[in-house]
Structure 1
Amino acid sequence: MPTNGLPTIIPPYLKKGDKVAITCPAKKLPIPMTDAAQLLTSWGLEVVLGDTVNASYHQFAGDDAFRTADLQRFIDDDSIKAIICARGGYGTIRMVDLVNFGGLTDKPKWLIGFSDITLLHAHIISNYGIACIHGQMPLNIPDASKYSLETLRMALFGEELRYTLPANTCNRQGKANGILVGGNLSLMVAISGSASDVDYTGKILFLEDVGEYLYAVDRMLRCLKRAGKLEHLAGFIIGGFTDLKDNDIPFGQTLPEIVMDIVKDYHYPVCFDFPAGHISNNCSLILGQSVYLDVQENQTIINY
Protein backbone atom coordinates (compact mmCIF):
# COMPACT_ATOMS: atom_id res chain seq x y z
CA MET A 1 0.00 0.00 0.00
CA PRO A 2 1.30 3.48 -0.75
CA THR A 3 1.72 6.03 1.97
CA ASN A 4 -1.85 7.29 1.92
CA GLY A 5 -3.46 3.84 2.20
CA LEU A 6 -4.81 3.82 -1.36
CA PRO A 7 -4.08 0.95 -3.75
CA THR A 8 -0.92 1.51 -5.75
CA ILE A 9 -1.67 3.08 -9.13
CA ILE A 10 0.80 2.24 -11.88
CA PRO A 11 0.40 4.66 -14.79
CA PRO A 12 0.03 3.06 -18.22
CA TYR A 13 3.39 2.09 -19.64
CA LEU A 14 4.44 3.92 -22.76
CA LYS A 15 4.23 2.62 -26.29
CA LYS A 16 5.67 3.94 -29.51
CA GLY A 17 3.85 7.00 -30.77
CA ASP A 18 3.00 8.31 -27.30
CA LYS A 19 3.54 11.96 -26.46
CA VAL A 20 5.86 12.90 -23.60
CA ALA A 21 6.44 16.39 -22.24
CA ILE A 22 9.57 18.05 -20.89
CA THR A 23 9.01 20.76 -18.30
CA CYS A 24 11.28 22.56 -15.87
CA PRO A 25 9.70 23.10 -12.42
CA ALA A 26 12.87 24.29 -10.69
CA LYS A 27 16.15 25.83 -11.86
CA LYS A 28 16.57 27.23 -15.37
CA LEU A 29 18.36 25.28 -18.08
CA PRO A 30 21.84 26.13 -19.33
CA ILE A 31 21.54 24.08 -22.53
CA PRO A 32 18.84 23.28 -25.09
CA MET A 33 16.96 19.98 -24.92
CA THR A 34 18.42 18.64 -28.16
CA ASP A 35 19.98 15.48 -26.70
CA ALA A 36 16.88 14.61 -24.75
CA ALA A 37 14.58 15.14 -27.71
CA GLN A 38 16.79 12.97 -29.92
CA LEU A 39 16.92 10.18 -27.35
CA LEU A 40 13.18 10.14 -26.70
CA THR A 41 12.44 10.30 -30.41
CA SER A 42 14.74 7.31 -30.97
CA TRP A 43 12.51 5.41 -28.55
CA GLY A 44 9.55 6.13 -30.82
CA LEU A 45 8.08 8.88 -28.67
CA GLU A 46 6.76 12.30 -29.67
CA VAL A 47 8.35 15.07 -27.61
CA VAL A 48 6.54 18.23 -26.53
CA LEU A 49 8.69 20.96 -24.99
CA GLY A 50 7.20 23.11 -22.29
CA ASP A 51 7.55 26.88 -22.22
CA THR A 52 9.83 26.59 -19.19
CA VAL A 53 12.70 24.98 -21.12
CA ASN A 54 13.58 28.39 -22.58
CA ALA A 55 12.49 30.56 -19.68
CA SER A 56 14.58 32.49 -17.19
CA TYR A 57 13.62 34.33 -14.02
CA HIS A 58 16.61 34.89 -11.75
CA GLN A 59 17.84 31.31 -11.16
CA PHE A 60 14.49 29.73 -12.02
CA ALA A 61 12.89 28.55 -15.27
CA GLY A 62 10.30 31.29 -15.03
CA ASP A 63 8.57 32.64 -11.95
CA ASP A 64 6.54 30.34 -9.71
CA ALA A 65 3.25 30.98 -11.51
CA PHE A 66 4.87 30.41 -14.91
CA ARG A 67 6.42 27.08 -13.86
CA THR A 68 3.17 26.04 -12.26
CA ALA A 69 1.20 26.74 -15.43
CA ASP A 70 3.65 24.72 -17.53
CA LEU A 71 3.37 21.66 -15.31
CA GLN A 72 -0.40 22.10 -14.99
CA ARG A 73 -0.75 22.18 -18.75
CA PHE A 74 0.80 18.74 -19.08
CA ILE A 75 -1.06 17.25 -16.12
CA ASP A 76 -4.36 18.33 -17.71
CA ASP A 77 -3.49 17.30 -21.28
CA ASP A 78 -4.76 13.74 -21.75
CA SER A 79 -2.59 13.28 -24.84
CA ILE A 80 0.57 13.55 -22.69
CA LYS A 81 1.47 10.13 -21.28
CA ALA A 82 4.58 11.10 -19.27
CA ILE A 83 6.02 14.28 -17.81
CA ILE A 84 9.79 14.47 -17.68
CA CYS A 85 11.35 17.11 -15.47
CA ALA A 86 14.27 18.70 -17.28
CA ARG A 87 16.46 19.25 -14.21
CA GLY A 88 16.47 19.74 -10.48
CA GLY A 89 18.34 22.49 -8.68
CA TYR A 90 15.95 24.42 -6.48
CA GLY A 91 12.44 25.70 -6.89
CA THR A 92 9.89 22.88 -6.80
CA ILE A 93 8.92 23.59 -3.20
CA ARG A 94 7.94 27.14 -4.23
CA MET A 95 5.22 25.98 -6.62
CA VAL A 96 4.06 22.49 -5.58
CA ASP A 97 1.11 23.85 -3.57
CA LEU A 98 -0.07 25.89 -6.57
CA VAL A 99 -0.51 22.80 -8.76
CA ASN A 100 -3.79 20.89 -9.06
CA PHE A 101 -2.74 17.26 -9.32
CA GLY A 102 -6.33 16.01 -9.34
CA GLY A 103 -6.21 15.20 -13.04
CA LEU A 104 -3.74 12.43 -12.33
CA THR A 105 -6.39 10.51 -10.42
CA ASP A 106 -8.49 9.84 -13.52
CA LYS A 107 -5.61 9.91 -16.01
CA PRO A 108 -2.43 8.80 -14.22
CA LYS A 109 0.80 9.41 -16.05
CA TRP A 110 4.47 8.97 -15.28
CA LEU A 111 6.46 11.77 -13.72
CA ILE A 112 10.22 11.37 -14.06
CA GLY A 113 13.14 13.07 -12.33
CA PHE A 114 15.32 13.09 -9.24
CA SER A 115 17.05 15.51 -6.84
CA ASP A 116 14.70 18.50 -6.31
CA ILE A 117 11.96 16.48 -8.07
CA THR A 118 11.88 14.24 -4.97
CA LEU A 119 9.29 16.67 -3.65
CA LEU A 120 6.92 16.00 -6.56
CA HIS A 121 7.45 12.25 -6.26
CA ALA A 122 6.66 12.27 -2.56
CA HIS A 123 3.64 14.55 -2.96
CA ILE A 124 2.10 12.46 -5.74
CA ILE A 125 2.77 9.14 -4.02
CA SER A 126 1.53 10.30 -0.62
CA ASN A 127 -1.59 12.10 -1.77
CA TYR A 128 -2.62 10.15 -4.87
CA GLY A 129 -0.92 6.76 -4.59
CA ILE A 130 0.57 7.06 -8.09
CA ALA A 131 3.97 5.57 -8.82
CA CYS A 132 6.75 7.79 -10.20
CA ILE A 133 10.17 7.19 -11.72
CA HIS A 134 13.39 8.30 -10.04
CA GLY A 135 15.77 8.47 -12.99
CA GLN A 136 17.89 10.47 -15.39
CA MET A 137 16.70 13.90 -16.47
CA PRO A 138 17.25 15.68 -19.81
CA LEU A 139 19.97 18.00 -18.46
CA ASN A 140 22.03 14.96 -17.46
CA ILE A 141 21.65 12.96 -20.68
CA PRO A 142 24.93 14.09 -22.31
CA ASP A 143 26.88 12.72 -19.33
CA ALA A 144 24.63 9.76 -18.52
CA SER A 145 25.74 6.16 -18.90
CA LYS A 146 24.05 4.19 -21.66
CA TYR A 147 22.91 1.64 -19.10
CA SER A 148 21.17 4.22 -16.91
CA LEU A 149 19.30 5.58 -19.94
CA GLU A 150 18.33 2.06 -20.90
CA THR A 151 16.88 1.49 -17.42
CA LEU A 152 14.77 4.62 -17.90
CA ARG A 153 13.46 3.29 -21.20
CA MET A 154 12.74 -0.06 -19.56
CA ALA A 155 10.86 1.56 -16.69
CA LEU A 156 8.77 3.71 -19.02
CA PHE A 157 7.90 0.86 -21.37
CA GLY A 158 7.14 -1.66 -18.62
CA GLU A 159 10.10 -3.97 -19.02
CA GLU A 160 11.38 -5.82 -15.95
CA LEU A 161 13.79 -3.91 -13.72
CA ARG A 162 16.15 -6.18 -11.82
CA TYR A 163 19.44 -5.16 -10.26
CA THR A 164 22.18 -7.40 -8.94
CA LEU A 165 24.84 -5.56 -6.97
CA PRO A 166 28.22 -6.78 -5.73
CA ALA A 167 28.69 -7.46 -2.05
CA ASN A 168 29.49 -4.54 0.22
CA THR A 169 31.08 -5.18 3.60
CA CYS A 170 29.02 -2.35 5.09
CA ASN A 171 25.70 -3.98 4.15
CA ARG A 172 23.38 -5.56 6.69
CA GLN A 173 21.94 -8.79 5.37
CA GLY A 174 18.26 -9.64 5.16
CA LYS A 175 15.20 -9.79 2.94
CA ALA A 176 12.34 -7.33 2.63
CA ASN A 177 9.31 -6.47 0.56
CA GLY A 178 7.73 -3.06 0.62
CA ILE A 179 6.67 0.07 -1.22
CA LEU A 180 9.77 2.03 -2.27
CA VAL A 181 9.84 5.66 -1.14
CA GLY A 182 12.48 8.34 -0.87
CA GLY A 183 14.92 10.14 -3.10
CA ASN A 184 17.08 13.09 -2.11
CA LEU A 185 17.81 13.17 1.62
CA SER A 186 17.74 16.98 1.87
CA LEU A 187 14.32 17.09 0.23
CA MET A 188 12.92 14.26 2.36
CA VAL A 189 13.88 16.25 5.45
CA ALA A 190 12.53 19.49 3.94
CA ILE A 191 9.05 18.01 3.41
CA SER A 192 8.84 16.39 6.85
CA GLY A 193 5.55 17.32 8.47
CA SER A 194 4.16 18.91 5.31
CA ALA A 195 1.37 17.87 2.96
CA SER A 196 4.01 16.17 0.81
CA ASP A 197 5.45 13.99 3.59
CA VAL A 198 5.23 10.22 3.31
CA ASP A 199 4.47 7.45 5.78
CA TYR A 200 7.68 5.47 6.22
CA THR A 201 6.12 2.54 8.12
CA GLY A 202 6.74 -0.77 6.37
CA LYS A 203 8.41 0.95 3.44
CA ILE A 204 11.78 0.41 1.82
CA LEU A 205 13.55 3.76 1.95
CA PHE A 206 15.98 4.91 -0.75
CA LEU A 207 18.18 7.95 -0.16
CA GLU A 208 20.85 9.86 -2.09
CA ASP A 209 22.43 13.30 -1.93
CA VAL A 210 25.24 15.43 -3.28
CA GLY A 211 27.67 18.04 -2.00
CA GLU A 212 26.74 17.78 1.66
CA TYR A 213 29.02 17.89 4.67
CA LEU A 214 29.29 14.66 6.65
CA TYR A 215 27.95 16.35 9.76
CA ALA A 216 24.93 17.59 7.77
CA VAL A 217 24.16 14.07 6.55
CA ASP A 218 24.39 12.88 10.15
CA ARG A 219 22.07 15.67 11.30
CA MET A 220 19.47 15.04 8.59
CA LEU A 221 19.38 11.30 9.22
CA ARG A 222 19.05 11.91 12.95
CA CYS A 223 16.17 14.30 12.23
CA LEU A 224 14.40 11.46 10.43
CA LYS A 225 15.19 9.08 13.29
CA ARG A 226 13.94 11.47 15.96
CA ALA A 227 10.73 11.88 13.95
CA GLY A 228 10.23 8.11 14.16
CA LYS A 229 10.66 7.62 10.45
CA LEU A 230 13.51 5.09 10.46
CA GLU A 231 12.35 2.73 13.20
CA HIS A 232 9.67 0.83 11.31
CA LEU A 233 11.19 0.57 7.84
CA ALA A 234 11.17 -2.75 6.01
CA GLY A 235 14.54 -2.01 4.39
CA PHE A 236 17.01 0.75 3.60
CA ILE A 237 18.81 1.41 0.30
CA ILE A 238 21.64 3.95 0.23
CA GLY A 239 22.40 5.33 -3.21
CA GLY A 240 25.04 7.77 -4.36
CA PHE A 241 26.25 10.25 -1.78
CA THR A 242 28.62 12.13 -4.02
CA ASP A 243 31.05 14.98 -3.39
CA LEU A 244 30.74 14.66 0.37
CA LYS A 245 32.72 17.26 2.28
CA ASP A 246 34.35 17.36 5.70
CA ASN A 247 35.36 20.19 8.01
CA ASP A 248 38.91 21.16 8.92
CA ILE A 249 38.35 19.19 12.11
CA PRO A 250 37.23 15.80 10.67
CA PHE A 251 33.76 14.59 11.55
CA GLY A 252 35.19 11.19 12.40
CA GLN A 253 32.78 8.86 10.64
CA THR A 254 32.37 7.75 7.04
CA LEU A 255 28.94 7.72 5.41
CA PRO A 256 28.40 3.98 6.05
CA GLU A 257 29.49 4.45 9.67
CA ILE A 258 27.03 7.34 10.08
CA VAL A 259 24.15 5.30 8.63
CA MET A 260 24.84 2.12 10.57
CA ASP A 261 25.32 3.99 13.84
CA ILE A 262 21.91 5.62 13.40
CA VAL A 263 20.07 2.38 12.50
CA LYS A 264 22.06 0.06 14.80
CA ASP A 265 19.04 -0.63 17.01
CA TYR A 266 16.90 -1.78 14.07
CA HIS A 267 17.08 -5.07 12.24
CA TYR A 268 16.02 -4.49 8.64
CA PRO A 269 18.41 -5.06 5.70
CA VAL A 270 20.61 -2.16 4.62
CA CYS A 271 22.18 -1.91 1.16
CA PHE A 272 24.93 0.55 0.25
CA ASP A 273 26.10 1.91 -3.09
CA PHE A 274 22.99 1.41 -5.19
CA PRO A 275 23.76 3.17 -8.51
CA ALA A 276 21.27 6.02 -8.33
CA GLY A 277 21.66 9.69 -7.56
CA HIS A 278 23.92 12.46 -8.80
CA ILE A 279 26.08 10.05 -10.79
CA SER A 280 26.41 9.23 -14.48
CA ASN A 281 25.09 5.71 -13.87
CA ASN A 282 21.86 6.94 -12.31
CA CYS A 283 19.72 3.83 -12.71
CA SER A 284 15.97 4.08 -12.62
CA LEU A 285 13.83 3.17 -9.63
CA ILE A 286 10.04 3.11 -9.53
CA LEU A 287 8.95 4.92 -6.39
CA GLY A 288 5.54 4.10 -4.97
CA GLN A 289 5.68 0.51 -6.20
CA SER A 290 6.43 -2.63 -4.20
CA VAL A 291 10.04 -3.77 -4.47
CA TYR A 292 11.91 -6.86 -3.27
CA LEU A 293 15.24 -6.36 -1.50
CA ASP A 294 17.53 -9.31 -0.78
CA VAL A 295 20.85 -8.37 0.81
CA GLN A 296 23.06 -11.46 0.79
CA GLU A 297 26.63 -12.09 1.83
CA ASN A 298 27.90 -12.21 -1.76
CA GLN A 299 25.40 -9.98 -3.59
CA THR A 300 22.31 -7.80 -3.32
CA ILE A 301 19.22 -8.31 -5.48
CA ILE A 302 16.61 -5.62 -6.04
CA ASN A 303 13.64 -6.22 -8.31
CA TYR A 304 9.98 -5.41 -8.82
Structure 2
Amino acid sequence: MTEIGSPVATPAAPTSGEASQFDSTAAKKQWQVILRRFARHKAALFGLIMFTILVLFAFLGGAIWKYSYTDLSFRRYLPPSADHPFGTDRLGGDMVALIIRGTQFSLQIAIFVAVLSTIIGVVLGALAGYMRGWVDAVISRFIDLILVIPSLVIAAVLVRNSFVVSVAGGGGSNWLIVALYLGLIMWLSIARVIRGMVLSLREKEFVEAARALGASTFRIVFRHILPNTIDVIIVNATLAIAQAVLLEAALSFIGLGVQTPDTSLGLMISLNKNELTLHPWLFFTPFVFIVLISLAVNFIGDGLRDAFDPRQKRVKA
Protein backbone atom coordinates (compact mmCIF):
# COMPACT_ATOMS: atom_id res chain seq x y z
CA MET A 1 0.00 0.00 0.00
CA THR A 2 1.06 3.55 -0.50
CA GLU A 3 1.34 5.56 2.69
CA ILE A 4 -0.65 8.74 3.09
CA GLY A 5 1.44 11.66 2.03
CA SER A 6 3.94 9.59 0.09
CA PRO A 7 4.47 10.64 -3.51
CA VAL A 8 2.50 8.70 -6.12
CA ALA A 9 4.46 7.53 -9.15
CA THR A 10 3.16 9.00 -12.40
CA PRO A 11 3.94 7.69 -15.88
CA ALA A 12 6.66 9.61 -17.62
CA ALA A 13 5.55 11.81 -20.48
CA PRO A 14 6.58 10.44 -23.86
CA THR A 15 9.51 12.13 -25.46
CA SER A 16 9.21 13.75 -28.88
CA GLY A 17 10.83 10.72 -30.47
CA GLU A 18 8.40 8.35 -28.74
CA ALA A 19 5.45 10.53 -29.71
CA SER A 20 6.61 10.58 -33.33
CA GLN A 21 7.01 6.80 -33.30
CA PHE A 22 3.54 6.42 -31.79
CA ASP A 23 2.02 8.67 -34.47
CA SER A 24 3.72 6.78 -37.29
CA THR A 25 2.63 3.43 -35.82
CA ALA A 26 -0.97 4.64 -35.47
CA ALA A 27 -0.97 5.98 -39.03
CA LYS A 28 0.47 2.69 -40.31
CA LYS A 29 -2.21 0.72 -38.49
CA GLN A 30 -4.92 2.99 -39.90
CA TRP A 31 -3.68 2.45 -43.46
CA GLN A 32 -3.61 -1.31 -42.84
CA VAL A 33 -7.26 -1.18 -41.79
CA ILE A 34 -8.10 0.84 -44.91
CA LEU A 35 -6.31 -1.64 -47.15
CA ARG A 36 -8.10 -4.57 -45.49
CA ARG A 37 -11.45 -2.90 -46.04
CA PHE A 38 -10.61 -2.21 -49.68
CA ALA A 39 -9.38 -5.78 -50.20
CA ARG A 40 -12.72 -7.13 -48.96
CA HIS A 41 -14.64 -4.98 -51.41
CA LYS A 42 -15.05 -7.41 -54.32
CA ALA A 43 -16.29 -4.84 -56.85
CA ALA A 44 -13.37 -2.54 -56.02
CA LEU A 45 -10.84 -5.34 -56.46
CA PHE A 46 -12.45 -6.26 -59.78
CA GLY A 47 -12.27 -2.60 -60.85
CA LEU A 48 -8.61 -2.34 -59.79
CA ILE A 49 -7.69 -5.47 -61.76
CA MET A 50 -9.63 -4.25 -64.78
CA PHE A 51 -8.07 -0.79 -64.65
CA THR A 52 -4.57 -2.26 -64.29
CA ILE A 53 -5.14 -4.44 -67.33
CA LEU A 54 -6.38 -1.44 -69.32
CA VAL A 55 -3.35 0.64 -68.34
CA LEU A 56 -0.96 -2.18 -69.30
CA PHE A 57 -2.87 -2.68 -72.55
CA ALA A 58 -2.64 1.03 -73.39
CA PHE A 59 0.99 1.73 -72.50
CA LEU A 60 2.65 -1.64 -73.16
CA GLY A 61 0.36 -3.13 -75.79
CA GLY A 62 1.95 -1.21 -78.63
CA ALA A 63 5.33 -2.83 -77.94
CA ILE A 64 3.79 -6.32 -77.87
CA TRP A 65 1.15 -6.25 -80.59
CA LYS A 66 2.40 -7.34 -84.00
CA TYR A 67 0.90 -4.42 -85.94
CA SER A 68 1.44 -0.68 -85.64
CA TYR A 69 -1.28 1.98 -85.66
CA THR A 70 0.59 3.64 -88.53
CA ASP A 71 0.33 0.53 -90.75
CA LEU A 72 -2.53 1.11 -93.21
CA SER A 73 -1.68 -1.66 -95.68
CA PHE A 74 -4.53 -4.04 -94.80
CA ARG A 75 -7.82 -4.47 -96.60
CA ARG A 76 -10.45 -2.01 -95.50
CA TYR A 77 -13.42 -3.02 -93.36
CA LEU A 78 -12.20 -6.51 -92.55
CA PRO A 79 -14.48 -8.04 -89.89
CA PRO A 80 -12.99 -9.36 -86.62
CA SER A 81 -10.84 -12.42 -87.20
CA ALA A 82 -7.91 -14.31 -85.66
CA ASP A 83 -5.41 -12.04 -87.42
CA HIS A 84 -7.36 -8.83 -86.67
CA PRO A 85 -9.43 -9.45 -83.50
CA PHE A 86 -11.16 -6.05 -83.78
CA GLY A 87 -11.18 -5.92 -87.57
CA THR A 88 -9.79 -3.11 -89.73
CA ASP A 89 -11.08 0.42 -90.28
CA ARG A 90 -11.98 2.55 -93.30
CA LEU A 91 -8.31 3.32 -94.01
CA GLY A 92 -7.08 -0.25 -93.68
CA GLY A 93 -5.63 0.14 -90.18
CA ASP A 94 -5.63 -2.65 -87.61
CA MET A 95 -8.25 -1.80 -84.96
CA VAL A 96 -6.35 -3.45 -82.11
CA ALA A 97 -3.37 -1.15 -82.71
CA LEU A 98 -5.68 1.84 -83.06
CA ILE A 99 -7.57 0.97 -79.86
CA ILE A 100 -4.27 0.69 -78.02
CA ARG A 101 -3.30 4.14 -79.22
CA GLY A 102 -6.72 5.65 -78.48
CA THR A 103 -6.89 4.14 -74.98
CA GLN A 104 -3.41 5.49 -74.22
CA PHE A 105 -4.42 9.04 -75.17
CA SER A 106 -7.75 8.82 -73.33
CA LEU A 107 -6.07 7.59 -70.13
CA GLN A 108 -3.28 10.14 -70.18
CA ILE A 109 -5.81 12.93 -70.73
CA ALA A 110 -7.98 11.61 -67.88
CA ILE A 111 -5.08 11.26 -65.44
CA PHE A 112 -3.75 14.73 -66.31
CA VAL A 113 -7.22 16.21 -65.81
CA ALA A 114 -7.73 14.40 -62.49
CA VAL A 115 -4.41 15.63 -61.09
CA LEU A 116 -4.84 19.22 -62.29
CA SER A 117 -8.48 19.59 -61.19
CA THR A 118 -7.75 18.01 -57.80
CA ILE A 119 -4.84 20.37 -57.09
CA ILE A 120 -6.82 23.46 -58.08
CA GLY A 121 -9.96 22.37 -56.26
CA VAL A 122 -8.18 21.40 -53.04
CA VAL A 123 -6.12 24.59 -52.85
CA LEU A 124 -8.97 27.00 -53.63
CA GLY A 125 -11.48 25.08 -51.52
CA ALA A 126 -9.11 25.02 -48.53
CA LEU A 127 -8.35 28.73 -48.83
CA ALA A 128 -12.03 29.62 -49.11
CA GLY A 129 -12.95 27.51 -46.10
CA TYR A 130 -10.12 28.70 -43.88
CA MET A 131 -9.76 32.35 -44.83
CA ARG A 132 -13.51 33.04 -45.10
CA GLY A 133 -14.42 36.69 -45.57
CA TRP A 134 -13.88 38.21 -49.01
CA VAL A 135 -11.65 35.30 -50.13
CA ASP A 136 -14.46 32.82 -49.50
CA ALA A 137 -17.00 35.15 -51.12
CA VAL A 138 -15.00 35.60 -54.31
CA ILE A 139 -14.17 31.90 -54.75
CA SER A 140 -17.68 30.69 -53.82
CA ARG A 141 -19.47 33.16 -56.09
CA PHE A 142 -17.15 32.26 -58.98
CA ILE A 143 -17.90 28.55 -58.44
CA ASP A 144 -21.66 29.26 -58.33
CA LEU A 145 -21.40 31.26 -61.55
CA ILE A 146 -19.53 28.56 -63.44
CA LEU A 147 -21.79 25.78 -62.14
CA VAL A 148 -24.78 27.48 -63.75
CA ILE A 149 -23.29 26.79 -67.20
CA PRO A 150 -22.99 23.12 -68.24
CA SER A 151 -19.38 21.89 -68.19
CA LEU A 152 -19.67 20.52 -71.72
CA VAL A 153 -20.62 23.95 -73.09
CA ILE A 154 -17.69 25.67 -71.35
CA ALA A 155 -15.24 23.02 -72.48
CA ALA A 156 -16.57 23.16 -76.04
CA VAL A 157 -16.15 26.94 -76.25
CA LEU A 158 -12.65 26.91 -74.75
CA VAL A 159 -11.40 23.97 -76.77
CA ARG A 160 -12.98 25.30 -79.98
CA ASN A 161 -11.24 28.66 -79.62
CA SER A 162 -7.90 27.05 -78.80
CA PHE A 163 -8.30 24.66 -81.73
CA VAL A 164 -8.87 27.56 -84.13
CA VAL A 165 -5.75 29.27 -82.80
CA SER A 166 -3.78 26.02 -83.08
CA VAL A 167 -4.84 25.48 -86.70
CA ALA A 168 -4.14 29.11 -87.59
CA GLY A 169 -0.71 28.78 -86.08
CA GLY A 170 0.01 25.56 -87.95
CA GLY A 171 -0.12 23.32 -84.87
CA GLY A 172 -1.60 19.86 -85.15
CA SER A 173 -1.43 18.25 -81.72
CA ASN A 174 -4.05 19.44 -79.24
CA TRP A 175 -4.62 16.67 -76.68
CA LEU A 176 -2.73 18.64 -74.02
CA ILE A 177 -4.90 21.71 -74.70
CA VAL A 178 -8.03 19.59 -74.28
CA ALA A 179 -6.69 18.10 -71.03
CA LEU A 180 -5.70 21.54 -69.72
CA TYR A 181 -9.12 23.08 -70.31
CA LEU A 182 -10.95 20.07 -68.90
CA GLY A 183 -8.80 20.31 -65.79
CA LEU A 184 -9.64 24.01 -65.48
CA ILE A 185 -13.40 23.34 -65.36
CA MET A 186 -13.56 20.09 -63.37
CA TRP A 187 -12.25 21.40 -60.04
CA LEU A 188 -15.52 23.03 -58.99
CA SER A 189 -17.17 20.10 -57.20
CA ILE A 190 -14.14 19.05 -55.18
CA ALA A 191 -13.51 22.68 -54.21
CA ARG A 192 -17.00 22.92 -52.69
CA VAL A 193 -16.55 19.64 -50.80
CA ILE A 194 -13.14 20.65 -49.41
CA ARG A 195 -14.45 24.10 -48.46
CA GLY A 196 -17.22 22.55 -46.39
CA MET A 197 -14.81 20.19 -44.61
CA VAL A 198 -12.30 22.95 -43.89
CA LEU A 199 -15.05 25.17 -42.46
CA SER A 200 -15.69 22.44 -39.91
CA LEU A 201 -12.06 21.52 -39.23
CA ARG A 202 -10.89 25.12 -38.73
CA GLU A 203 -12.78 25.22 -35.41
CA LYS A 204 -11.18 22.05 -34.02
CA GLU A 205 -8.88 22.11 -31.00
CA PHE A 206 -5.74 21.11 -32.88
CA VAL A 207 -6.17 24.06 -35.26
CA GLU A 208 -6.68 26.44 -32.34
CA ALA A 209 -3.53 25.05 -30.73
CA ALA A 210 -1.56 25.57 -33.95
CA ARG A 211 -2.77 29.18 -34.13
CA ALA A 212 -1.82 29.76 -30.51
CA LEU A 213 1.68 28.48 -31.22
CA GLY A 214 2.04 31.01 -34.04
CA ALA A 215 1.79 28.65 -37.01
CA SER A 216 1.37 30.38 -40.36
CA THR A 217 -1.79 30.08 -42.42
CA PHE A 218 0.06 27.98 -45.00
CA ARG A 219 1.25 25.53 -42.34
CA ILE A 220 -2.14 25.27 -40.65
CA VAL A 221 -3.98 24.62 -43.92
CA PHE A 222 -1.53 22.29 -45.62
CA ARG A 223 0.08 20.62 -42.61
CA HIS A 224 -2.79 20.26 -40.17
CA ILE A 225 -6.14 20.59 -41.97
CA LEU A 226 -5.74 19.04 -45.44
CA PRO A 227 -4.23 15.76 -44.16
CA ASN A 228 -7.57 15.22 -42.42
CA THR A 229 -9.36 15.41 -45.78
CA ILE A 230 -7.09 12.96 -47.62
CA ASP A 231 -9.88 10.37 -47.89
CA VAL A 232 -12.19 12.78 -49.72
CA ILE A 233 -9.35 13.99 -51.94
CA ILE A 234 -8.36 10.46 -53.01
CA VAL A 235 -11.93 9.39 -53.75
CA ASN A 236 -12.74 12.54 -55.74
CA ALA A 237 -9.48 12.33 -57.70
CA THR A 238 -10.29 8.73 -58.61
CA LEU A 239 -13.80 9.53 -59.78
CA ALA A 240 -12.49 12.53 -61.74
CA ILE A 241 -10.68 10.09 -64.03
CA ALA A 242 -13.98 8.51 -65.09
CA GLN A 243 -15.62 11.92 -65.52
CA ALA A 244 -12.72 13.15 -67.66
CA VAL A 245 -12.88 10.09 -69.93
CA LEU A 246 -16.60 10.62 -70.54
CA LEU A 247 -16.32 14.40 -71.03
CA GLU A 248 -13.39 14.06 -73.43
CA ALA A 249 -15.29 11.39 -75.36
CA ALA A 250 -18.32 13.69 -75.60
CA LEU A 251 -16.19 16.58 -76.89
CA SER A 252 -14.42 14.37 -79.42
CA PHE A 253 -17.73 12.90 -80.57
CA ILE A 254 -19.01 16.35 -81.54
CA GLY A 255 -15.70 17.23 -83.17
CA LEU A 256 -14.39 19.63 -80.51
CA GLY A 257 -12.05 17.33 -78.63
CA VAL A 258 -8.86 15.59 -79.65
CA GLN A 259 -7.90 16.09 -83.29
CA THR A 260 -5.64 14.16 -85.61
CA PRO A 261 -2.70 13.35 -85.60
CA ASP A 262 -3.58 12.64 -81.96
CA THR A 263 -6.38 10.22 -81.26
CA SER A 264 -8.63 9.02 -78.47
CA LEU A 265 -11.49 6.59 -77.95
CA GLY A 266 -13.98 9.43 -78.31
CA LEU A 267 -12.44 10.54 -81.59
CA MET A 268 -12.57 6.96 -82.89
CA ILE A 269 -16.28 6.80 -82.10
CA SER A 270 -16.80 10.12 -83.88
CA LEU A 271 -14.92 9.00 -86.98
CA ASN A 272 -16.89 5.75 -87.17
CA LYS A 273 -20.37 6.91 -86.15
CA ASN A 274 -21.61 6.53 -89.74
CA GLU A 275 -20.40 2.91 -89.83
CA LEU A 276 -22.77 1.78 -87.07
CA THR A 277 -25.09 -0.20 -89.32
CA LEU A 278 -22.65 -1.50 -91.92
CA HIS A 279 -19.52 -2.10 -89.82
CA PRO A 280 -20.65 -1.96 -86.17
CA TRP A 281 -17.34 -3.20 -84.72
CA LEU A 282 -15.71 0.10 -85.66
CA PHE A 283 -18.16 1.99 -83.42
CA PHE A 284 -18.76 -0.44 -80.57
CA THR A 285 -15.14 -1.44 -79.89
CA PRO A 286 -13.97 2.00 -78.66
CA PHE A 287 -17.37 2.46 -77.00
CA VAL A 288 -16.88 -0.73 -74.95
CA PHE A 289 -13.41 0.42 -73.87
CA ILE A 290 -14.82 3.75 -72.64
CA VAL A 291 -17.45 1.86 -70.65
CA LEU A 292 -14.82 -0.47 -69.17
CA ILE A 293 -12.62 2.43 -68.06
CA SER A 294 -15.56 4.24 -66.48
CA LEU A 295 -16.84 1.14 -64.70
CA ALA A 296 -13.40 0.20 -63.39
CA VAL A 297 -12.68 3.66 -62.01
CA ASN A 298 -16.13 3.98 -60.44
CA PHE A 299 -15.75 0.57 -58.76
CA ILE A 300 -12.38 1.69 -57.37
CA GLY A 301 -13.91 4.94 -56.16
CA ASP A 302 -16.75 3.10 -54.39
CA GLY A 303 -14.25 0.80 -52.71
CA LEU A 304 -12.07 3.68 -51.55
CA ARG A 305 -15.09 5.55 -50.19
CA ASP A 306 -16.16 2.51 -48.17
CA ALA A 307 -12.60 1.80 -46.99
CA PHE A 308 -11.98 5.36 -45.78
CA ASP A 309 -15.40 5.88 -44.19
CA PRO A 310 -15.31 4.58 -40.57
CA ARG A 311 -19.11 4.66 -40.40
CA GLN A 312 -19.65 2.27 -43.30
CA LYS A 313 -20.99 -1.17 -42.46
CA ARG A 314 -20.79 -3.02 -45.73
CA VAL A 315 -17.10 -3.88 -45.37
CA LYS A 316 -15.92 -4.63 -41.86
CA ALA A 317 -12.37 -3.99 -40.67
TM-score band by shorter chain is: under 0.3
Normalised TM-score (structure 1): 0.26
Greater helix proportion: 2
Q: Which protein is bigger by CA-based radius of gyration?
A: 2
Normalised TM-score (structure 2): 0.25
**Greater RCO (CA < 8 Å, at least 6 residues apart):** 2
